[in-house]
Amino acid sequence: MSTLVLEVIKGRRSVRSFKPDPIPEEHLKLILEAGLWAPSGGNAQPWEFVLVREKQVIDKIRLFSPGLFGDPYALIVLCVNKNRIKRRDESGKQIALMDVAMAAQNMMLEAYYLGVGSCPIASFNKTAIKELLDMPDHVDPVLMVSLGYPEKWPEPPKRRPFEEVVHYEKY
């Protein structure tokens, strides 16, 4: 089983060119469910996920998202629900961002497992997206994941060598 997980982790690519084919609803649901099962600090689960499938809405989001490449079938906008981290200080707010990032990674791995390409996007105007998607004050969009069947799976980018990155017992 561990080999399979590592294969999925190593196989996932950031896809920026998509086919127009629709993703089945049940697969989209599985991808979202993978996000729900991410770890979070104090089990706060400070996230909200907005699934956008309507092309017209995606086109409007694109106007404010320079980091959105290609024509994805769907977008998931991952948000922090500030009501769920009310008692946290500044570092606690950073933890909420890490929580959302882990949820995004879960989603992208599940997507890859289902043959769906994805790409995490942080380059978008948060104020504009919040307005466009009618988000209340206490909900802030922080990350998007584009989803669609890839035109092609990109080659893996270079990775820093294991020995350079990993330190045993001390730095």
Q: Which residues bind other proteins (CB under 8 A)?
A: 14, 16, 59-60, 62-67, 69, 123-125, 128, 154, 157-158
CA 166 – CA 171 distance, rounded (Å) = 9
Closest distance of CB 129 from other proteins, Å: 10
The smaller minimum CB distance to other proteins, of residues 64 and 149, is found at 64
Residues, the chain, total? 171
The smaller minimum CB distance to other proteins, of residues 19 and 60, is found at 60
The smaller minimum CB distance to other proteins, of residues 51 and 57, is found at 57
Closest distance of CB 59 from other proteins, Å: 7
The smaller minimum CB distance to other proteins, of residues 41 and 70, is found at 70
CA 62 – CA 70 distance, rounded (Å) = 10
Q: Which residue has the tokens 């950073």?
A: 94
Closest distance of CB 32 from other proteins, Å: 25
Nearest alpha-carbon partner for 12 in 162, 161, 165, 154: 154
Closest distance of CB 68 from other proteins, Å: 10
Helix (H) and strand (E) counts for the chain? 6, 4
CA 158 – CA 6 distance, rounded (Å) = 17
